[in-house]
Amino acid sequence: MPWDVVIVGAGAAGLLAAIRAAERGRRTLVCEKNQRPGTKILMSGGTRCNLSHATDSAGIVRAFGRQGRFLHSALASLSPEQTVQLFHAEGLRTKVEETGKIFPASDRAADVLAALMRRLNRSGAELAFGDSVREITGVSGSMRVTTNNRTLTAESVIVTTGGRSYPGCGTTGDGYAWAARFGHEIIAPRPALTPIVCDARWIKELSGVTISDVATRVVAAGRIYEAGQAGTSRRRAQKALAEARGSLLFAHFGLTGPAALDVSRAVSGASEAVCVLCDFLPDESPENLLQRLDQQCSREGGRLIGGLFSELLPRRLLHSLLGVLEIPVDRRAAEVRRADRVRIVEQIKGCPIAAQGVMGFRKAEVTAGGVDLRQVDSSTMQSKVAPGLFFAGEVLDLDGPIGGFNFQAAFSTGWLAGSHA
Ligand SMILES: Cc1cc2nc3c(=O)[nH]c(=O)nc-3n(C[C@H](O)[C@H](O)[C@H](O)COP(=O)(O)OP(=O)(O)OC[C@H]3O[C@@H](n4cnc5c(N)ncnc54)[C@H](O)[C@@H]3O)c2cc1C
């Protein structure tokens, strides 16, 4: 007997789509290539699962930038508040951390998945594991889904195969090829929320150092400096390709932590060499900082320059920044020329770190790019070029920042697709 709805992929989007479709009385089957559902839910948020963000629908839309508009209807069908209520109704208590991230109170991602599975099991949707979909063909009302061991027919098919990140989880980008064969444009998938690779020796030497609050901006490397007077160069203010603020961790390969991950999509998508400009004291204005340095240099001129600002910056970082400027850390503060003090402040407020690239899909929390949003009806999640075919979750050209935004988008788009398939 044909299915009403076949859903491909039992991740966040697929599970919500299945719950919704089955609760509407649709005969629903989910095909999952793995032997269990929700692999990424289990590994997410360091196995704690940051399932959403403490904001309203408008806050989620804003966080997705230019793609955010696409989410209006999905969030109207399942808002962040309704998502949390859905989990509460399944007995999962949640907590909001200082950053606005929502986690299960137990800190166990397994509890999030268990809550979804309880609701799914009641909904009557069926799950088939080890059922890897190879091909989708057909027209609305008569879609054919070929798996590794059978051919299914369905009125509607919802593709929730995720992106290409962490391919070991089963997410190998299978949905893109099917969508393309139906006539969909695919925006070239690229890694996002992934560590940034930097070659500079001083970065590697700082491996293990975390700075809790850094403002990062990705800018074109060739345009950081402009000619100043008498052959000098000064930094040019320029438009950022991406900006973020949060903690930054130096690693042997480069930069990681939220302030690096959140701007990584601009590095992986850049067509020219780019730098990450790091402001290590985002709450201090350059003028104040320079004034402070001037005062310290005149009042405590006998101190070593490498010992100043210890209340503001980790010593190891300051020494590295001075090293890049070739200012000896053991120079007496009084002997540091004014021009060098200006350079020190510039370095603290906008240190350019050349980015060689990103760590790639293997280490990317999400995939930027995917099924072009312009060919998907955002009020239903149905394809505009192939009626009967629906998309939800990360397979779409949707990627948000760290903070629970990506799960919220997957849950809401899955719910909306399940409401119409
Ligand atoms: C390490 C890590 C940590 C993360 N932490 C967070 C976090 O804390 N908060 C947050 O919001 N986001 C987080 N994310 C991102 C989040 O996991 C994804 O955005 C989200 O899972 C996307 O949901 P989805 O349902 O679209 O795809 P997925 O969850 O990736 O699910 C896709 C499913 O489709 C299946 N599939 C693929 N191809 C086929 C096929 N041919 N046949 C059958 N099945 C198939 C896959 O096996 C998979 O189960 C994290 C991601 C990673 C990798």
pTM of the model: 0.93
Residues 278 and 143 in one domain: no
Give, to the nearest 10 degrees, the angle between helix 405-420 and helix 12-23. Answer: 30
Where among 358, 380, 410 does a domain terminate?
A: 358
Cβ 64 vs Cβ 366: under 8 Å: no
Does 50 contact ligand 1 (Cβ within 6 A)? yes
- Ligand 1 pocket test: pick from 406, 411, 413, 415 the residue with the most ligand atoms within 8 Å of its Cβ: 406
Angstrom distance (rounded) from CA 252 to CA 195 = 11
Q: Which residues contact 286 (CB under 8 A, 6 or more apart)?
A: 345, 346, 349
Report the phi/psi class of residue 353: left, alpha or beta, with left for phi > 0 and alpha for psi in -120 to 50: beta
Tell me which residue has its CA closest to atom 45 in ligand 1: 9
Residues 264 and 373 in one domain: no
Where among 316, 342, 358 does a domain terminate?
A: 358
Q: What pairs with residue 248 in β-bridges?
A: 211
Angstrom distance (rounded) from CA 408 to CA 405 = 5
What pLDDT is stored for residue 279 in this prediction?
97
Residues 143 and 10 in one domain: yes
Residues 278 and 219 in one domain: yes
Residues 217 and 181 in one domain: no
Where among 334, 358, 382 does a domain terminate?
A: 358
Domain CATH number, residue 18: 3.50.50.60
Angstrom distance (rounded) from CA 379 to CA 228 = 53
Residue of 23, 37, 30 whose CA lies nearest to 113: 37
What is the distance in A from the centroid of ligand 1 to the CA of 174? 13
Angstrom distance (rounded) from CA 139 to CA 98 = 48
Q: Report the relative pairing of strands 101-104 and 94-96 from DSSP bridges.
A: antiparallel
Residues 50 and 185 in one domain: yes
Tell me which residue has its CA closest to atom 13 in ligand 1: 44
Cβ 268 vs Cβ 165: under 8 Å: no
Residues 110 and 247 in one domain: no
Tell me which residue has its CA closest to atom 35 in ligand 1: 9
* SS3 category, 72: helix
Burial 353-371 (b: 16+ CB within 10 A, else e): bebebbbebebbbbbbbbb
Dihedral angle at the C-alpha atoms of 41, 42, 45, 48, nearest 10 degrees? 120
Any idea how long the chain is? 421
Residues 7 and 149 in one domain: yes
- Ligand 1 pocket test: pick from 15, 20, 365 the residue with the most ligand atoms within 8 Å of its Cβ: 365
Instruction: Specify the ligand 1 atom closest to the Cα of 48.
Output: 8
Residues 158 and 206 in one domain: no
What pLDDT is stored for residue 4 in this prediction?
98
How far is C-alpha 47 from the geometric centre of its chain's CA atoms? 16
Q: Helix H segments across 210-275?
A: 258-261, 264-268
- For the chain, what is the domain count? 2
Residues 244 and 184 in one domain: no
What pLDDT is stored for residue 223 in this prediction?
63
Tokens 């690779």 sit at which residue? 197
Instruction: Specify the ligand 1 atom closest to the Cα of 408.
Output: 11
Angstrom distance (rounded) from CA 297 to CA 336 = 8
Residues 158 and 9 in one domain: yes
Give, to the nearest 10 degrees, the angle between helix 109-123 and helix 39-47. Answer: 150
Check residue 178 and report its DSSP letter: H
Radius of gyration, CA atoms only, the chain: 25
Does 14 contact ligand 1 (Cβ within 6 A)? yes
Does 32 contact ligand 1 (Cβ within 6 A)? yes
Side-chain-facing half-sphere of 177: CA atoms under 13 Å: 8
What pLDDT is stored for residue 224 in this prediction?
62
Q: Per residue of the chain (421 residues), what is the pLDDT tens digit? A: 899 999 999 999 999 999 999 999 999 999 999 999 999 999 999 999 999 999 999 999 999 999 999 999 999 999 999 999 999 999 999 999 999 999 999 999 999 999 999 999 999 999 999 999 999 999 988 999 999 989 999 999 999 999 999 999 999 999 999 999 999 999 999 999 999 999 999 999 999 999 999 999 999 987 665 444 444 445 556 689 999 999 999 999 999 999 999 999 999 999 999 999 999 999 999 999 999 999 989 998 899 999 988 888 999 999 999 999 999 999 999 999 999 999 999 999 999 999 999 999 999 999 999 999 999 999 999 999 999 999 999 999 999 999 999 999 999 999 999 999 9
What pLDDT is stored for residue 309 in this prediction?
86
What is the distance in A from the centroid of ligand 1 to the CA of 162? 5
Residues 186 and 204 in one domain: no
Cβ 268 vs Cβ 358: under 8 Å: yes
Determine the structural domain holding residue 293 and report its residue range: 196-358
Tokens 């109170």 sit at which residue? 105
How far is C-alpha 421 from the geometric centre of its chain's CA atoms? 28
* SS3 category, 101: strand
